[in-house]
Chain A
Amino acid sequence: MSSGNAARKIDPRRIRPKHATISGMELDECYRAGDGAGVVGEPGQYPFTRGVYPSMYRGKTWTMRQFAGFGSAADTNARFKYLLAQGVDGLSTAFDMPTLMGYDADHARAEGEVGREGVAVSTVDDMSVLFDGIRLDEVTTSMTVNCSASVLLAMYLVIGERQGCSWKKLGGTIQNDMFKEFIAQKEWICPPQPSLRIVTDMIEFCTREVPRWHPVSISGYHIREAGSTAAQELAFTLADGIGYAQAAVERGLDPDEFGPRLSFFFNVHNDFLEEIAKIRAARRMWARIMRERFGAKTDRACLMRTHAQTSGVSLTAQQPTNNVVRVTVQALAAVLAGVQSLHTNSLDETLALPSQEAVTVALRTQQILAEESGIVNTVDPLGGSYAIEALTDRMESEAQAYIARIDALGGIVRAIELGYPQAEIADAAYAFQQATDGGEYVTVGLNGYTMEEDHKLEILKIDRAIEGEQRARVSAFKATRDRQQVAKLIEGVRSAAVEDRNLMPAVVDAVRGSVTVGEISDVYRQVFGVYQDPATV
């Protein structure tokens, strides 16, 4: 708890000049030959500025992966099946706050939160209902969960076993990016060091046991949503990636083995050219980081595969139909930047979790881009554009300066402990709010082109009865277990934690034996301690 000092003064250079991007990066009136990099390179070739594969969307369209989760596991299972029937290529799971923070639905801290911001999963039985009727070796699944990720991954593996699927055939991604939690999304259990240890355990475990799984999705998305600029998003994401790769190397893992298992996740905000430049710069920078810092020999280990999501914070509650247009522009930028998978936000997301009608429009937006717009027919159509290449270079040099600063501080863990990225983001968020409140940045429908009567959308309502039902299910599940066996399995997790053995085998055993998300997270709380928000403004 801090009563805080006076708020930091905002650097006036952060205030957006007239012909600047949304991040405040001023553009030239016109770009010409010689403004950008001399060498544009080839798609599918190091350093992959133009894309990770030679044929890009000619070979395979990006994966349309809509993030979904609300209410009970059965509610979300029905939404998953609806989305699959409508043509999504991959599942993506949103968990509720108690699950994300490592509390079971019957915990006091879960009160009021169960099933409200995602699906409630406390037990392996909940997980089983969530994926009921969906063959896990026929879909790939992304799970957005971080501090309790080890438990949710274990549950997925156990459900796979129950379906008779080999772990070797399970494909997907678990977000598991704890650095960006401390920096931006702020769901955590233990402090940065033990959090990194758990992430590294999962990288090690998956590299050996679940070879098609991406054990971490290094995420700029939340950094941007928390208010960073595009260059900060790029820089802090890559700095986080450096932190994980460094830890994996220190664990004795080979960059050529774990490199291809790292995946990324970027935001795609409103500023079209800046966003395309950001993702192109990200690929080039990461390739060089893996080769030059970590000595990866194969190109596969240097290749940045990325998911992208359109920007939630860019949407407005006012005149919400306009959000469809924002999402379209952002999705177009993502595709022109060459992402591997994409979530398009629904027009109602500033009001509630998406309704079925809204999520259908969001998915159709991607399908229209893929089927009707023609942009999939040639690889990296913007490659060689004077402006795009020059901006790609600019993004790279701005991000490189931040990475150098983080290196000078002693790396990302130290930078987080010092609150450096957090303060940079808070400053940028405040500057943007001031630019909005002052009218220097116009958002249509919000501080320009406003209307008296807003169109009212039918929003998704979460039945308040769900919480009581889920609490009862979890209590009943716990009551039927063999207590001694459960205690023994919890002890197994504890001893792996204390003795510094890889946690995953013990966590998988525990989940198989009906230990819950909250019970395993309690072990982490007891052994590693609980991180406290520094509460700086």
Chain B
Amino acid sequence: MSEKVLRILVAKPGLDGHDRGAKIIARALRDAGFEVIYTGLHQTPEMIAETAVQEDVDCVGLSILSGAHMTLFPRVVDLLRQKGAGDVPVFGGGIVPDEDIGELKNLGVKEIFTPGASTKQIVDWIRQHIQPRA
């Protein structure tokens, strides 16, 4: 077991309090063997980027159900870049209409999971796409 365990930040940007999904994902990722840090609710993009850098995470998962994803998801990506952590992949989940997914990916969000995604799909995606940061 020389492989480094991935550190993942699960974060809730914005004002909405729907944390059922974020908490389930955080727990499922832990059960899958990852190290998980959960920010709690009502985080600004600045707080999330700061935590990602301080905790030296390998990726950031954002959960939002208020419809503010087009503003807040790209903001987290930008702030990570500004802090020299632009290589930290950001993925997201929540109520995100199909038509927004392409635009979010163009803005640097690596993947979006929508209602009905299983925890296994998300765990598998992380295993395939996320490597420990150099």
A interface residue numbers (CB < 8 A to B): 1-4, 6-7, 97-98, 100-101, 103, 109-113, 116-117, 181, 185-188, 225-227, 313, 316-318, 350-353, 426, 429-430, 433-434, 436-437, 446-447, 456, 459, 462, 464, 532-537
Chain B's nearest CB lies how many Å from the CB of A99? 10
Contacts of A533 in B (CB 8 A): 19, 40-42
Chain B's nearest CB lies how many Å from the CB of A231? 18
A316 and B115 contact, Cβ closer than 8 Å, known pairs A97-B14, A100-B15: yes
- Which B residue sits closest to A429, measured CB to CB? B20
Contacts of A113 in B (CB 8 A): 14-16, 66-68, 71
Kindly list 20 other residue pairs between chains A and B, CB separation below 8 angstroms, not including A101-B42, A225-B20, A352-B97.
Answer: A2-B38, A4-B36, A101-B15, A109-B44, A113-B14, A113-B16, A117-B16, A186-B18, A186-B19, A187-B17, A351-B97, A352-B95, A426-B23, A429-B23, A437-B118, A446-B116, A464-B70, A532-B40, A533-B42, A534-B40
- Which B residue sits closest to A437, measured CB to CB? B118
- Which B residue sits closest to A445, measured CB to CB? B116
Contacts of B39 in A (CB 8 A): 1, 535
- Which B residue sits closest to A317, measured CB to CB? B115
- Which B residue sits closest to A70, measured CB to CB? B67
- Assess whether A436 is in contact with B118, with CB atoms less than 8 Å apart: yes
Chain A's nearest CB lies how many Å from the CB of B11? 10
- Assess whether A4 is in contact with B70, with CB atoms less than 8 Å apart: no
Q: How far, in whole Å, are A36 and B70 apart by their CA atoms in the complex?
A: 53
Residue B31 at the A interface, CB < 8 A?
yes
Contacts of B118 in A (CB 8 A): 436-437, 447
Candidate in A100, A113, A434, A446 with the most chain B CB atoms within 10 angstroms: A113
What are 28 A-B contacts with C-beta separation under 8 Å? A2-B40, A3-B37, A4-B36, A97-B14, A97-B16, A98-B15, A109-B44, A113-B67, A113-B71, A116-B68, A117-B66, A181-B17, A186-B19, A187-B15, A318-B116, A350-B115, A351-B95, A351-B115, A426-B27, A429-B24, A430-B23, A430-B27, A430-B28, A433-B119, A437-B119, A456-B98, A534-B40, A535-B41
CB within 8 Å of A: which B68-121 residues? 68, 70-72, 95, 97-98, 114-116, 118-120
A4 and B66 contact, Cβ closer than 8 Å, known pairs A186-B17, A350-B95: no
Candidate in A4, A353, A446 with the most chain B CB atoms within 10 angstroms: A4
Residue B131 at the A interface, CB < 8 A?
no
Contacts of A7 in B (CB 8 A): 26-27, 30-31
Contacts of B17 in A (CB 8 A): 181, 185-188
Chain A's nearest CB lies how many Å from the CB of B116? 5
- Which B residue sits closest to A102, measured CB to CB? B15
Q: Is the interface of A mostly helix, strand, loop or mixed?
A: loop
- Assess whether A227 is in contact with B20, with CB atoms less than 8 Å apart: yes
Chain B's nearest CB lies how many Å from the CB of A423? 10
Contacts of B97 in A (CB 8 A): 351-352, 459
Contacts of A117 in B (CB 8 A): 16, 65-67
A1 and B40 contact, Cβ closer than 8 Å, known pairs A117-B16, A429-B23: yes
- Which A residue sits closest to B16, measured CB to CB? A97
Contacts of A436 in B (CB 8 A): 118
Contacts of A353 in B (CB 8 A): 67
- Which B residue sits closest to A110, measured CB to CB? B15
**Could you say which interface size class chain B belongs to?**
35 or more
- Assess whether A4 is in contact with B37, with CB atoms less than 8 Å apart: yes
Candidate in B28, B38, B114 with the most chain A CB atoms within 10 angstroms: B38
CB within 8 Å of A: which B25-75 residues? 26-28, 30-31, 36-42, 44, 51, 55, 65-68, 70-72
Q: How far, in whole Å, are A97 and B97 apart by their CA atoms in the complex?
A: 19
- Assess whether A537 is in contact with B30, with CB atoms less than 8 Å apart: yes
Contacts of B26 in A (CB 8 A): 4, 7, 537
- Assess whether B119 is in contact with A535, with CB atoms less than 8 Å apart: no
Candidate in A2, A97, A103 with the most chain B CB atoms within 10 angstroms: A97
Contacts of B115 in A (CB 8 A): 316-317, 350-351
- Which B residue sits closest to A446, measured CB to CB? B116
- Which A residue sits closest to B71, measured CB to CB? A112
Nearest 10 Cβ contacts at the A-B interface: A112-B71, A186-B17, A535-B40, A116-B67, A533-B40, A112-B68, A97-B15, A533-B41, A317-B115, A7-B27
Q: How far, in whole Å, are A111 and B16 apart by their CA atoms in the complex?
A: 13
Q: How far, in whole Å, are A532 and B42 apart by their CA atoms in the complex?
A: 9
Q: How far, in whole Å, are A433 and B70 apart by their CA atoms in the complex?
A: 27
Contacts of B67 in A (CB 8 A): 113, 116-117, 352-353, 462
Q: How far, in whole Å, are A426 and B30 apart by their CA atoms in the complex?
A: 15
Candidate in A353, A533, A534 with the most chain B CB atoms within 10 angstroms: A533
Chain A's nearest CB lies how many Å from the CB of B74? 10
- Which B residue sits closest to A432, measured CB to CB? B24
Contacts of B14 in A (CB 8 A): 97, 112-113
Q: How far, in whole Å, are A98 and B14 apart by their CA atoms in the complex?
A: 10
Chain B's nearest CB lies how many Å from the CB of A317? 4
Chain B's nearest CB lies how many Å from the CB of A98? 7
Q: How far, in whole Å, are A459 and B95 apart by their CA atoms in the complex?
A: 12
Q: How far, in whole Å, are A147 and B79 apart by their CA atoms in the complex?
A: 31
Contacts of A313 in B (CB 8 A): 20
- Which B residue sits closest to A99, measured CB to CB? B15
Q: How far, in whole Å, are A446 and B20 apart by their CA atoms in the complex?
A: 18
Contacts of B68 in A (CB 8 A): 97, 111-113, 116
Contacts of B95 in A (CB 8 A): 350-352
Chain B's nearest CB lies how many Å from the CB of A116? 3
Chain B's nearest CB lies how many Å from the CB of A522? 15
- Assess whether A437 is in contact with B120, with CB atoms less than 8 Å apart: yes
Q: How far, in whole Å, are A534 and B118 apart by their CA atoms in the complex?
A: 26
Candidate in B40, B51, B72 with the most chain A CB atoms within 10 angstroms: B40
Chain A's nearest CB lies how many Å from the CB of B84? 22
Contacts of A429 in B (CB 8 A): 20, 23-24
